[in-house]
C-alpha cells in the first residue's frame, strides 16, 4: 500500500469515517477537514499516525503532512469520502448550520479577537495564491541572478523568463479581487473586475479633481477594498431586484457604482492606508535597526502557528510597489531558519527514533522555506524548543535589519529567498540565515531540550 493511501485511510478512520467528513481542502502543508460531528474525531490518534507531523485545531481540523504529500493524501481522502477537495455537498447544508454554531463557540473559547479574525480573513484570500506566487517569485529571482551574472538582459531567453516570472505580479490584483469577493460572499468575477479598476493602465488617462489618477495606486489594499465593496453592494442590490432581471441589473449596477466609488473614494483610501503601513514599517526598521529586527523576527513564529502570517502578503507587496523592494521579508524569514537550527540540535541530542524520523522529514523542506512541519511536528509539541527557535530567529533578524537586506519580489523563505535578494545582498542574506541556524542550534542545545521531553512524542 502506498504511503499516501495508508495515511488517507488511517486519517479518515480517526476522523470518524467517510460519512463524518463535511468538507475537505488542502494548502501547501495542511489537510483541512470540517467534521460533521467533532465528538467522533480521535485527535490524539491522528497525532500518532506515522507521517502526520502535527494537528492544529481552528475553524477546521488542520493535519500537517508536509508539501507535496498533502495534495496526494487529499486526493485519496476525496476518493474515500466522495467529497471534492475544497467543496461542500449542498445536500448537507443542514449539517453545517450546527457546525457553524460549534465553530463560533470554539472561536470564542480560543479568544478569537476581531483582529485575529480579520487577519484570518486576509490569509484566506492569499493562501490559494501561494503556489503561483512562489513559482513566479522563484523564476523571477533566478532570472535576476542570471542577468547579474552577465547575460544580456535583452536576449530572447531573458525576455521569456521575465514574462513567465513577473506576469503574475502584474495581474495579481485580479486574482486578489476574485478571492476577496468570494471570501465576502460576492461573485468572484465581479471581484476580479473590481481588481482591474485599481490596476488598469487606462487610469493614467483620467484626471479627477485636478489630479491625474495613477494605475496601481492603493495596490492590493485598494483592490481588497474595492472587492469587499462590490460584494457588499451586490448582495444588497440583489435583495430588491426582481429575479427575472437579476442577471442583468445586479452585476451592472454593482460594477458601475463600484467603479465610481473606487476612483473617488476607495483608491485614495487604499493609497493612504498603503502609505501609512509602508512608511510606518520603514520608519520602524530604520530607527529600530538591531532591536526592530530582533523583535520582528523573534515574534514571527507565533503568527505562523495560527496561519495568520499569510495576511502579511499585501504588506510585502505594498513595500515592493512603493519603494521597489521589501526589507521586511528577509527579517521574518529568519523565523524558519531558527526552527532549522533548533531541529538540528534536537536531532543530534535525542535518542527518540520517531522524533528523529519526523525531523529528518521536516528538515529538507524547512531549509527550503516551509517551516510548518518542523513547527507542528517538533518544536511546538516539545514546548521549550519553540522558544529557543524564536530566540535564534531573533538574532538572525537583527543581522538582516542592521545590514538592510531586501528582496525584489515575494516568495518562500529559507535558501530559495537568496535568489530574490537585491543586487549584492545574496551573501549577506545567507550569512543571516547561517547565524539564525547557529543560534537556534546553540540556544536549543544549551537549555532548550532534554531527551525526557520527547517521551510522549
Marked catalytic residue, from 27, 194, 317, 401: 27
**Cα(414)–Cα(429) distance, rounded to whole angstroms?**
10
Among 452, 454, 445, 219, which residue's Cα sits nearest to residue 314?
219
Q: How far apart are CA 180 and CA 400, in angstroms?
A: 33
| Cα dist from 208 to 173, 185, 217, 229, 279, whole Å | 22, 31, 14, 21, 26
3 state DSSP class of 32: strand
Query: Half-sphere exposure of residue 4, counting CA atoms within 13 Å on the CB side?
Result: 16
Residue with cell 546553540: 442
Residue 233: closest CA among 265, 185, 183: 185
CA within 13 Å, CB half, 276? 7
**Phi-psi region for residue 64, left (φ > 0), alpha (ψ -120 to 50) or beta?**
beta
Residue 198: which H helix or E strand, with range? helix 188-199
Task: Cell numbers for 345, please give them.
Answer: 540540535
Q: Which residues contact residue 191 at a Cβ distance below 8 angstroms, ignoring those fewer than 6 apart?
A: 177, 178, 179, 180, 181, 182, 227, 230, 231
Backbone angles phi, psi at 369, to 5 degrees: 105, 5
Q: Give 418's DSSP letter.
A: G
Q: What 3-state DSSP class applies to 434?
A: helix
Which H or E run includes 404?
none
Inter-residue contact 183 to 125 (CB < 8 Å): yes
Q: Which three cell numbers stand for residue 223?
A: 483592490
Give the integer Cα–Cα distance in Å for 8 and 26: 13
Helix H or strand E segment including 61: strand 61-64
Element (H, E) at 352: none
Grid cell for residue 234: 451586490
Residues near 252 by Cβ (< 8 Å), separated by ≥ 6? none
Active site residue 390: no
**CA 267, CA 259: separation in Å to the nearest integer?**
10
Active site residue ranges = 27
Amino acid at each position: 500500500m502506498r504511503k499516501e493511501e495508508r495515511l488517507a485511510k488511517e486519517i479518515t478512520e480517526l476522523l470518524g469515517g467517510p460519512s463524518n467528513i463535511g468538507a475537505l481542502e488542502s494548502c501547501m502543508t495542511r489537510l483541512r477537514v470540517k467534521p460533521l460531528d467533532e465528538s467522533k474525531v480521535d485527535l490524539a490518534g491522528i497525532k500518532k499516525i506515522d507521517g502526520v507531523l502535527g494537528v492544529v485545531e481552528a475553524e477546521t481540523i488542520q493535519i500537517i503532512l508536509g508539501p507535496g504529500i498533502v495534495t496526494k493524501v487529499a486526493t485519496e481522502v476525496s476518493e474515500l469520502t466522495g467529497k471534492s477537495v475544497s467543496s461542500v455537498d449542498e445536500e448537507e447544508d443542514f449539517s453545517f448550520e450546527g457546525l457553524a454554531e460549534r465553530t463560533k463557540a470554539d472561536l470564542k473559547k480560543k479568544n478569537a479577537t476581531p483582529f485575529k479574525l480579520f487577519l484570518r480573513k486576509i490569509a484566506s484570500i492569499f493562501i490559494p495564491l501561494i503556489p503561483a506566487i512562489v513559482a513566479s517569485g522563484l523564476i523571477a529571482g533566478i532570472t535576476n541572478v542570471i542577468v547579474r551574472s552577465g547575460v544580456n538582459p535583452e536576449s530572447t531567453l531573458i525576455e521569456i523568463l521575465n514574462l513567465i516570472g513577473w506576469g503574475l505580479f502584474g495581474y495579481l490584483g485580479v486574482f486578489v479581487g476574485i478571492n476577496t469577493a468570494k471570501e465576502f460572499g460576492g461573485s468572484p468575477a465581479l471581484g476580479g473586475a473590481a481588481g482591474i479598476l485599481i490596476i488598469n493602465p487606462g487610469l493614467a488617462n483620467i484626471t479627477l479633481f485636478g489630479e491625474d489618477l495613477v494605475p496601481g495606486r492603493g495596490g492590493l489594499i485598494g483592490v481588497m477594498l474595492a472587492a469587499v465593496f462590490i460584494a457588499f453592494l451586490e448582495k444588497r442590490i440583489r435583495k430588491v431586484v426582481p429575479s427575472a432581471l437579476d442577471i442583468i441589473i445586479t452585476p451592472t449596477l454593482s460594477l458601475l457604482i463600484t467603479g465610481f466609488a473606487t476612483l473617488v473614494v476607495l483608491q485614495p483610501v487604499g493609497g493612504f492606508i498603503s502609505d501609512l503601513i509602508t512608511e510606518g514599517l520603514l520608519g520602524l526598521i530604520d530607527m529600530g535597526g538591531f532591536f526592530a529586527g530582533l523583535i520582528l523576527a523573534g515574534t514571527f513564529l507565533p503568527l505562523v502557528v495560527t496561519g495568520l502570517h499569510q495576511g502579511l502578503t499585501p504588506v510585502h507587496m505594498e513595500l515592493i510597489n512603493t519603494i521597489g523592494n521589501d526589507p521586511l521579508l528577509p527579517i521574518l524569514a529568519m523565523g524558519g531558519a531558527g526552527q532549522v537550527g533548533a531541529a538540528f540540535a534536537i536531532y543530534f541530542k535525542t535518542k527518540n527514533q520517531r522524533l528523529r524520523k519526523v525531523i529528518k522529514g521536516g528538515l529538507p523542506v524547512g531549509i527550503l522555506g516551509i517551516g510548518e512541519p518542523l513547527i507542528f511536528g517538533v518544536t511546538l509539541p516539545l514546548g521549550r524548543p519553540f522558544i529557543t527557535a524564536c530566540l535564534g530567529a531573533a538574532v538572525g533578524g537583527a543581522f538582516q535589519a542592521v545590514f538592510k537586506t531586501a528582496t525584489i519580489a515575494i516568495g518562500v523563505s529559507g535558501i530559495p529567498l537568496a535568489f530574490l535578494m537585491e543586487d549584492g545582498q545574496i551573501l549577506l542574506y545567507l550569512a543571516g540565515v547561517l547565524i539564525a541556524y547557529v543560534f537556534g542550534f546553540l540556544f536549543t542545545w544549551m537549555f532548550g531540550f532534554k531527551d525526557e521531553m520527547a517521551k510522549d512524542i
